[in-house]
Amino acid sequence: MTLLTILFDGVAYGMLLFVLACGLAVTLGLMNFVNLAHGAFAMTGGYVCAVLVNRSGLPFFAALPIAFLVSAAVGALLERTLYRHLYARSHLDQVLFTIGLVFMSVTATDYFMGSSQTFIKLPDYLQGQIDIFGLGVGRYRLMIIVICGLLTIALQMILSKTRFGSRLRAAVDDPRAASGLGINVPQVFALTFAFGCGLAGMGGALGAEILGLDPYFPLKFMIYFLIVVTVGGSSSITGPFLASLLLGIGDVAGKYYVPKLGAFVIYTMMIVILIWRPNGLFGRTNAR
Amino acid sequence: MTVSETLRSQVGTFAVARGRWHWPEAVFWGLAVACVFLFPNRYLILTEIAWLALFALSLDLILGYAGIVSLGHAAFFGFGGYAAGLLALHHIVDEPVLALIVAGLAAMALGFVTSFLVMRGSDLTRLMVTLGIALLLRELANRFSNITGGSDGLQGIEMAPILGTWSFDIFGKVGFIYCLCVLFVLFLLARRIVHSPFGLSLRAIRNNPLRASAIGIPVNRRLIAIYTIAAFFAGVAGALSTQTTALASLDGFAFDRSADLMLVLIIGGTGYLYGGLIGAVIFKLLQELFSTLTPQYWQFWIGLVLVVIVLIGRERMHRWALYLPNLVMRRFGAKAPIVLPEGDAT
């Protein structure tokens, strides 16, 4: 394994984390809502995709958008029925509530899908490696980089060019002033929340191959999502993006060079960064 | 000058009045002691309740009294547990009470070192850092399996008799009495702490750190102090769990443990010392109930309880719970209704 391969795998991993976590970054920045249950939506997407591909025989690429839609629908439903009652509550309440959701989703998935790892049957053309400039590159990881890269660009375009994007940015900057200007902040938030959940669902489906998919997914990756958000800051999309890449590369390199320490590397990295800059590496303003 | 003098004496009288022993407390501890005779077949779960109560008491000190939201309080529990296990396994300190204190002090040292990390940043950063520290320790314990036994945990721990006199029996009676005594002693300590001027200053910090520092309370120093003390309590709780089960495992550091602990405290109510104790009893009973109903999926119901409690609102729930006692109290001609202490962490 060369340095380049590590870098490549790390970038693929990081981009995946970004797609998984960017919804969380926006919800945290917009409503100051600590949502520890974000991984549950990712898991939903992963299992939807697995069921569609493995049992119904749908092509992988057709199942991805469905995973997105189902997760987004579940997110929208929960946002409208449960989450919105908690925006004004203390962080402690939000943490407790979302931990409760995580526990429920973990055991419910265990009940319905079994506790073992689930694999999504991949089409043949996504397996194996191809050579690019003499570098052995996993096809699946290459696809992840392409898809996630396109998604990131699309997100950036939506945020910076569309009317909805500017409304969203205004609402993140100052929700009170934004609603004073006639922006329907709760609506913007509900849409963003559902979209973020959808992205997470798609990330879960894409990541099943690399991250693994089992009922404990929300617990295992909660810390990763939180690292992305806290290190990246929640005021823009570039921060979480860079943080995801850093985390992905750091994790892959750490596991390769010092396998004995395992996940130790990234936890240490996170703590050091948070001590050094409590509001995140790329945070513009202090967290509210 | 006179105004401030009377004010000071009033605050003093108030604090002293609150710190006085009341008869319901005697009833509570009387009941706890009665458990030794009432449930001779249930010592194992009673023991678990006792150390869980101590653990919850520890979280209450930082969450309920100082307003620090921690997602990784299991770090100290696991650390204390491993410390006690290693001390007994390698016969460094054989006597359980002494080992308990050493394990508690080890956790305390860890608490002191990590408290500086926790003091930085906002609520969210705190959540992350506490969670990160617990995960980090778990990872370390998992990797250095030559010391900790890895995922198998520390096995083959044999406990020497307590104070050289009482040895642990297989029914767990001695273990339970031992846990109860430790719980009571540390409860007295916690009670002394929260009713002292130091405890009052913590409550001021919880309610408004900025104002607290404006009236001259050294906010960070006080928070570091209480965090360190709470770590000691949690370490002792972990050590108790290791000593009574003769096992220390990675579970000690698990996120589930910190999360369950929050539920324990939330059920009982934050910001008063009996919250953790009552919560531990209710939580264990609920857990028993759920795991007899659906053995593998009891955690689902625990999650549901959390969600429902938050949706109902913790304060409203505690008002309902106190409705009946208040009704009884009024029958007996009590003037003031029982109310829970004001506010908690925000």
Question: Which of B2-11, B138-147, B154-163 reaches the highest mean pLDDT?
Answer: B138-147
- Closest Cβ opposite residue A262 in set B139, B304, B314: B139
A258 close contact with B: CB closer than 8 A? no
Q: Does residue A276 belong to any structural domain of this protein?
A: no
With 70 as the cut, is the pLDDT of residue A149 above it? yes
In this prediction, residue A201 carries a pLDDT of 92
Of A258 and A150, the one with more pLDDT: A150
B286 close contact with A: CB closer than 8 A? no
Q: Does residue A226 belong to any structural domain of this protein?
A: no
Per-residue pLDDT of B204-224, as tens digits, reads 888 888 888 898 888 889 999
Two structure tokens written together for A30: 């917009």
With 60 as the cut, is the pLDDT of residue A77 above it? yes
CA angle at A106 for the pair A102 and A109, rounded to the nearest 5°? 135
Q: Quick one: average pLDDT of B102-107?
A: 93
Per-residue pLDDT of A208-245, as tens digits, reads 888 888 888 888 888 888 888 888 876 678 888 888 99
Task: Enumerate residues 6+ apart whose C-beta is below 8 A from A2.
Answer: A135
Among chain A residues, the shortest Cα distance to B123 is held by A91
Taking a C-beta distance cutoff of 8 angstroms, is the pair A251, A10 a contact?
yes
In this prediction, residue B139 carries a pLDDT of 83
Question: Which of B33-42, B101-110, B296-305 reaches the highest mean pLDDT?
Answer: B101-110
Q: How many CB atoms lie within 10 A of CB A150?
A: 10
Q: Quick one: average pLDDT of B123-138?
A: 84
Two structure tokens written together for B234: 């949690």
In this prediction, residue B346 carries a pLDDT of 39
**Contact: A262, B142; criterion CB under 8 Å:** yes
Q: Quick one: average pLDDT of B222-238?
A: 93
CB–CB contacts below 8 A, A to B: 135
B335 pLDDT tier (thresholds 50, 70, 90): low
DSSP state of A54: I
- The two beta strands, A135-138 and A129-132, are antiparallel
In this prediction, residue A47 carries a pLDDT of 92
In this prediction, residue A257 carries a pLDDT of 83
A288 pLDDT tier (thresholds 50, 70, 90): very low
In this prediction, residue B345 carries a pLDDT of 40
Q: Quick one: average pLDDT of A161-173?
A: 86
> What is this structure's pTM?
0.85
A74 pLDDT tier (thresholds 50, 70, 90): very high
Two structure tokens written together for B303: 């999650």
Q: Quick one: average pLDDT of B252-279?
A: 86
Among chain B residues, the shortest Cα distance to A87 is held by B311
B342 pLDDT tier (thresholds 50, 70, 90): very low
How close A264 gets to chain B, by Cα (Å)? Answer: 6
Q: What is the amino acid identity at position B18?
A: R
Which A residues, 76 through 105, put their C-beta within 8 Å of a C-beta on chain B?
82, 85-86, 89-93, 95-97, 99-105
State percent of chain A over pLDDT 90.
16
With 60 as the cut, is the pLDDT of residue B341 above it? no
A275 close contact with B: CB closer than 8 A? yes
B150 close contact with A: CB closer than 8 A? no
Among chain A residues, the shortest Cα distance to B308 is held by A97
Return the minimum-mean-pLDDT range out of B59-68, B140-149, B322-331.
B322-331
In this prediction, residue B334 carries a pLDDT of 59
B297 close contact with A: CB closer than 8 A? yes
Among chain B residues, the shortest Cα distance to A105 is held by B300
B260 close contact with A: CB closer than 8 A? no
Return the minimum-mean-pLDDT range out of A29-33, B71-75, B108-112.
A29-33
Task: Enumerate residues 6+ apart whose C-beta is below 8 A from B20.
Answer: none
Which B residues, 167 through 206, put their C-beta within 8 Å of a C-beta on chain A?
none
**Contact: A97, B306; criterion CB under 8 Å:** yes
| Complex ipTM | 0.82
Residue A129: strand pairing partners: A138
Of A283 and B342, the one with more pLDDT: A283
Residue B248: strand pairing partners: B154
In this prediction, residue A70 carries a pLDDT of 94
Q: Quick one: average pLDDT of A122-150?
A: 80
**Contact: A262, B314; criterion CB under 8 Å:** no
Of B26 and B324, the one with more pLDDT: B26
Segments making up each domain of chain B, as ranges: 38-331
Taking a C-beta distance cutoff of 8 angstroms, is the pair A91, A288 a contact?
no
Among chain B residues, the shortest Cα distance to A84 is held by B311
With 80 as the cut, is the pLDDT of residue B292 above it? yes
Among chain B residues, the shortest Cα distance to A278 is held by B121
**Contact: A274, B297; criterion CB under 8 Å:** no
In this prediction, residue B53 carries a pLDDT of 92
**Contact: B122, A275; criterion CB under 8 Å:** no
In this prediction, residue A85 carries a pLDDT of 85
In this prediction, residue B344 carries a pLDDT of 44
Average pLDDT, chain B: 83
Of B145 and A162, the one with more pLDDT: A162
How close B209 gets to chain A, by Cα (Å)? Answer: 15
In this prediction, residue B128 carries a pLDDT of 81
The string of DSSP codes covering A60-88 is HHHHHHHHHHHHHHHHHHHHHHTGGGGTT
A283 pLDDT tier (thresholds 50, 70, 90): low
B329 close contact with A: CB closer than 8 A? no
Q: Quick one: average pLDDT of A252-270?
A: 79
Q: For residue A44, what are the domain limits?
A: 14-216
A44-74 residues labelled b (16+ CB within 10 A) or e (exposed): bbbbbbbbbbeeeeeebeebbebbbbbbbeb
What's the total number of domains in chain A? 1
In this prediction, residue B79 carries a pLDDT of 92
B303 close contact with A: CB closer than 8 A? yes
Average pLDDT, chain A: 84
Q: Say how many Å lie between the first and final Cα of chain B, rounded.
A: 35
With 90 as the cut, is the pLDDT of residue B25 above it? no
Q: Quick one: average pLDDT of A94-122?
A: 87
In this structure, whether the domain defined by B38-331 belongs to CATH 1.10.530 is answered with no
With 90 as the cut, is the pLDDT of residue B41 above it? no
B333 pLDDT tier (thresholds 50, 70, 90): low
A261 close contact with B: CB closer than 8 A? yes
With 50 as the cut, is the pLDDT of residue A287 above it? no
How close B230 gets to chain A, by Cα (Å)? Answer: 18
Which A residues, 155 through 184, put their C-beta within 8 Å of a C-beta on chain B?
none
Q: Does residue A3 belong to any structural domain of this protein?
A: no
With 90 as the cut, is the pLDDT of residue A7 above it? no
In this prediction, residue A104 carries a pLDDT of 92
Counting every residue written for chain A, the total comes to 288
Q: Does residue A74 belong to any structural domain of this protein?
A: yes
Return the minimum-mean-pLDDT range out of A64-68, A144-148, B141-145, B258-262.
B141-145
**Contact: A107, B311; criterion CB under 8 Å:** no
With 90 as the cut, is the pLDDT of residue A73 above it? yes
